Amino acid sequence: MTTSKLKALKLAGIATALCGVCAGPAMAQVAANPGGPYLGVGWGQFSADIDSLSDAGSTANRIVNSNDNAWKAFAGWRFNPYIGVEVAYIDLGSPGDRFEGSGSSGNYALDVSGFSPSLIGTLPLGPVELFAKAGYYFYDVKLRLDLDAPGPDLRSKSSRDDFIYGGGIGVTFAEHLHVRAEYEVIDLKNASNSDALWLSAAWRF
C-alpha cells in the first residue's frame, strides 16, 4: 500500500471515530459562539519519514523510520464560523531508530520543536465542523547519531522553517468545549513526508 493511501486511511479512521461520538445525545445543540478566542492542547503521534541523515555528515543507505508521542499547545481567534488564525507550540518528541551507513551503522534520534502560525478554514455542519489548515513551522531540530564503530558520536543542531498543512473534524460540546481529530503533513527538510495524528481539546470563550 502506498504512503498516500496509508495517510488517507489514517485521516478516514480518526474522522469516523469522531463522527461516532457525534451520535451521542450531548451533540444535540449547536455551538452558540460563532467567533472569538480559544485556547487548547493536543496529544498525538509523530511519524518521521527520514530521507537522509546528511546533516550530521553521514550518508545513510538504509534508515528505519520511526515515530514518537507528540504534544502541542495552541491559541487562536475565529473571525467568524468559517475562517480563523492559530498559533501553536509543537513538540514532536524524539523519534529514533537504527540506520545503516556507508561508513558506519548505528542509532539515530531526532528532537524537533517550535512554533507554527496557521490559517484555518472551517465548514460548520451544526455541532460538527470540517476544517483545513495551512501554515509554517519554525522549529529547532537536534540530530544525534551513536555510531557502532569506535570514534566520536555525531551531533547536529539547526533552526529551520517549513510548510505544514492538514485537516480534520471537530465537535463542540456544551457550546464551549471543542474536540477535534486532526491529520497534519509536516514538510521537514530531509524528512519531507513526515506526518502527525492529533486529538485536541480547546475551550472557546
Please provide residue 190's backbone torsions phi and psi, each rounded to the nearest 5 degrees. Answer: 65, 10
Q: What does the block give as the cell for 161? A: 522553517
Query: What's the pLDDT score for residue 30?
Result: 45
Burial label for 52, CB within 10 Å (0-12, 13-18, 19+), is middle
Q: Note the Cα 66 to chain centre separation in Å.
A: 14
pLDDT of residue 175: 85
pLDDT 10s digit of each residue in the chain, 205 long?
545 445 555 555 555 544 444 444 334 344 456 889 999 999 999 987 766 665 544 445 455 567 789 999 999 999 999 999 999 999 998 877 666 666 667 777 778 899 999 999 999 987 799 999 999 999 998 877 777 766 666 777 888 899 999 999 999 998 899 999 999 998 877 676 788 999 999 999 9
Q: What is the pLDDT of residue 27?
A: 41
**158 HSE (CA, 13 A, CB side):** 11
Q: Tell me how crowded residue 181 is: count the other CB atoms within 10 A of its CB.
A: 23
Q: CB neighbours (10 Å) of residue 131? A: 18
**94: three-class secondary structure by DSSP:** coil
- Pairwise CA distance, residues 143 & 51, whole Å: 14
What domains, with CATH codes, occur in the chain? 3-204 (2.40.160.20)
The amino acid present at 194, given as its one-letter code, is S
Q: What is the pLDDT of residue 56?
A: 46
Pairing of strands 106-125, 96-101: antiparallel
Length of the chain: 205
pTM of the model: 0.76
